[in-house]
Structure 1
Amino acid sequence: MPNPQNETQLYQIALSLIPKIGPATYRNIIAYSGSASSFFNLPAGKASKIPRIGAKLAEIVKNKNQYLREAEEILNNCHKKNIRVLTLQDPDFPSRLKALEDSPLVLFIKGNAALNPARAIGIVGTRQASEYGKNITRKIIEDLIPYQPTIISGLAYGIDIEAHKAALQYDLPTIGILGSSVDNIYPSIHKNTAMSMLENGGLLSEFQPGSEMHPGNFPKRNRIISGLSDALIVVEAAKKGGALITAEIAYSYNKEVFAVPGNLQSIYSEGCNNLIRSMKASIFTGVKDLEEALSWSKENPLESRETKIQSWESFPIEEQQILGLLQQKKEMEIDQLSLQLEMSISILASKLLGLEFEGIIKSLPGKKYRLIL
């Protein structure tokens, strides 16, 4: 087999192709083996001792050449189609996703999207959007201009495509999270908009180029929309549908979820009204709600973030890493921090306590932490 230009990434992709390897198992493998390539070269007996692996999965690893060939084909195909590939271990992999227990292991990206923006807002809703819903979507994005967030949505009919188009109109970066591969725009009618998004944003998918599209892809992609967003706004939604699935996932991730209240007689307001009634979403009355919930200001978010990071330079590197993660999110659980930083709970707890004594972070109920700065 030819030597690939990026052997490290080749082995990481091959590891992701093995059935039943999710983020937790992947991290265990890397922690135990040191790297994906080292894991593939472990004797089966040693591999079976890695937590979450077992004898059966270790046996599968004997077929490593099969996975390496497939990984090489994926990388070659992506190179031909100008598709960027990121694995969970790549430094540019979205930090908002790394902390999730169900994070994708590999992402495929087209365009110039910054995947770790200072601010990111998800906007979703029904495919059967009303004029009211479309107008509200455009108004939300127009009002977001001073805050300069990246707009995240799913390129679907209705509210999603309206959000992307409005972001393009108002020159805000926007990322479309696809339930198809990035070389197969779905729905195809949105291809022109998708191509326009590449210059100041892009398209992202966890499904490899050339792969078949399945209905189950779309609920999976919804977790990426939720995971990449600091807050999620549901503009219109029926009693059931993808927008509500996305909202439920965002709620489970402890993200800020907002729902636009609607006409009690409209079936496409029922989902939003139910989210508000069940207290899984806050009522959205304007971007001031986001400003308060996310502690935003209208100052340049990149300058504000840089100033804060500079003030942390005197801290040891591990504390800087903790603060950097908390900067990305409103709050995080200690388990999420531990997974992201690959730091034991006991050591992490000690460092969090020290930062709390310094008055830099605050502990919250449920073993959560947030920045005070």
Structure 2
Amino acid sequence: MTHNLHQVALTLVPGVGSILIRQLISYCGSAADVFQAPLGRLLKIPGIGEVTARAIHKPDVLTTAEQVIKQLEKLDAHSLFFTDKNYPARLKNLYDAPAMLYFRGSGDLNAPRTIGLVGTRQATDYGRRITADLIEALVPYGVTVFSGLAYGIDIAAHRASLTSGLPTIGVMASGLDIIYPNIHQKTAQEMLVQGGLLTESTPGTKPDAHLFPARNRIIAGLSDAVVVVEAAAKGGALITAEYANNYHRDVFAVPGQLNQAFSAGCNKLIRENKAQIYTSPRDLIEAMNWDAPVTEPSPKGIPPALPLDITEEESQILALLRQSATLHIDDLSWQAQIPMSRLASVLLNLEFRGFVRSLPGKTYAPVYA
């Protein structure tokens, strides 16, 4: 397993988070170039003050990175920097995506179909049954299941996936060497063969409270859709749903009895139109268009001449869609390098003009190939 010393070291510099790491790479070219840049050049980079610039030049950062790499090698773990080709494509265009991920296992972080399955740690028999039924229904579609390895719905999702033969990946709020809760060690070990474990934290990092919301954003970002099975009025599952909505992911919530505390969160998501109601696996499968062929044939015909007032961005989007037949909005944003906020408006304009059609699951296709 090969690891890039300077990439690992960059994530260890005090005061330098994922957004600032992207800024440094953008100005300097590579992680190695960041550490070789003179102090004066670093100070010219927006967001870099003298304290941070001097911290980058401290030799102990590289020494610590060497120790981290030794730990990763013992764990047989991969390090995935945001510029690597194997870094999860669904995360690449998110403004707050981790600059570095650490992964153990055999699963595909770029699987064609993914869901995040989350919920309360105090799961009921009803919640566990709904979870198991959904997993079983997803088997024909080869879906990869992401969750947080926590008590309740999370571990029910992982175990049901293992039983059904679906790959499942646990996103952790700790280092890869610290399974939390410890009672889930056996399940985590099985997941390495049929999925894996993923984190943005270096080995030895304990699961402190502030790391759990950060973990939830990764689950949301990696998922085509997030399903909240049971949730209280406040908690991690609702945080995951909030991130999923911000990332333009589909969100589903399982309705529950009005007098049950762990139905309050799901009912709230549905009431506030932050989630689609989930009544059966068909709701998810049809919304995500998973029954359709992976690549839909485009309608036959002669493409209309492009109007003279078409913009460069619109032309670029049409070219990408005609090349790929269908593309998820995230892939379009990444390939075209157009921010999601602007891309949604451009796509809507193209749809009104009859050049693009929207498909379920935030996927788009050209009206003419």
> TM-score surpassing 0.5?
yes
- In the other structure, the counterpart of 1:30 is 25
1:247 partner SS = helix
CA contact (8 A) 2:178 2:206 kept: no
Give the % identical residues.
44
Stretches of 4+ moved more than 6 A in 1? 321-324, 357-360
Structure-to-structure mapping, 1:52-67, within 5 angstroms: 52-63=47-58, 65-67=59-61
Q: Taking structure 1 as reference, are residues 165 and 101 closer, same or farther at Cα in structure 2, changes over 3 Å only?
A: same
Q: 2:130 aligns with which of 136, 148, 170?
A: 136
Relative to structure 1, the CA distance from residue 243 to residue 72 in structure 2 (aligned partners, 3 Å threshold; closer, same or farther) is same
1:232 Cα deviation from its structure 2 partner: 0.3
When the two structures are aligned, how many residues end up with a matched partner?
341
The whole-number CA distance in structure 2 between the counterparts of 1:344 and 1:150 is 27
Q: Distance in 1 between matches of 2:76 and 2:134?
A: 33
The Cα of 1:33 is off from its aligned counterpart by: 1.2
Whether 1:17 and 2:12 are equivalent positions in the alignment is yes
The residue number in structure 2 matching 1:248 is 242
Amino acid at match of 1:371: Y
Deviations 1:171-214 (A, max 9, x none): 11100111122211111111111111111200111111122331
Cα offset, 1:22, TM superposition:
2.9
Structure-2 separation of matches of 1:118 and 1:178 = 22
Gaps of 5+ in 1: 309-314
Say whether 1:40 aligns with 2:43.
no
Distance 1:342 1:260 in 2: 35
RMSD: 3.2
One-letter amino acid of the counterpart of residue 114, structure 1: D
Of residues 84, 99, 102, the one that matches 1:105 is 99
How has the CA–CA distance of structure 1 residues 39 and 322 changed in structure 2, closer, same or farther, with 3 Å as cutoff? farther
Rounded Cα–Cα distance in structure 2 between residues aligned with 1:166 and 1:344: 38
Q: Distance in 1 between matches of 2:331 and 2:76?
A: 37
Q: TM-score, normalised by structure 2?
A: 0.83
Aligned residue for 1:312?
none
Cα distance, 1:18 vs structure 2: 1.7
Q: Are 2:118 and 1:124 equivalent residues in the alignment? A: yes
Matches within 5 A, 1:146-295: 146-295=140-289
- Give deviations 1:277-332, integer Å, cap 9, x for gaps: 01111101222222333232265x5xx49x99xxxxxx99x9659977x83x4x24
The correspondence of residues 292-311 of structure 1 with structure 2, limited to 5 A, is: 292-297=286-291, 299=293, 301=294, 304=295
Distance 2:29 2:109 in 1: 26
Shift of 1:51: 2.5
In 1: Cα distance, 2:12 partner to 2:336 partner: 22
Distance (whole Å) between structure 2 residues aligned to residue 360 and residue 370 of structure 1: 14
Task: Give me the whole-angstrom Cα distance separating, in 1, the residues matched to 2:319 and 2:6.
Answer: 31
Residues 6-62 of structure 1: CA deviation (Å, up to 9, x unaligned): 5xx211111121233233322222222111111211111111112322444223222
Three-state SS of the structure 2 residue aligned to 1:271 is helix
Q: Is the 8 A contact 1:147 1:298 kept in 2?
A: no
SS in 1 for 2:197: strand
Change (3 A) 1:321 1:14: farther
* Helix, strand or coil at the partner of 1:203: strand
* Contact 1:13–1:71 (8 Å) recurs in 2: yes
> 1 CA distance for matches of 2:321 and 2:66?
33
Does the 8 Å CA contact 2:79/2:101 hold for their aligned counterparts? yes
TM-score (norm 1): 0.82
Equivalent position SS for 1:67: helix
The secondary structure found in structure 2 opposite 1:176 is: strand
CA contact (8 A) 1:181 1:209 kept: yes
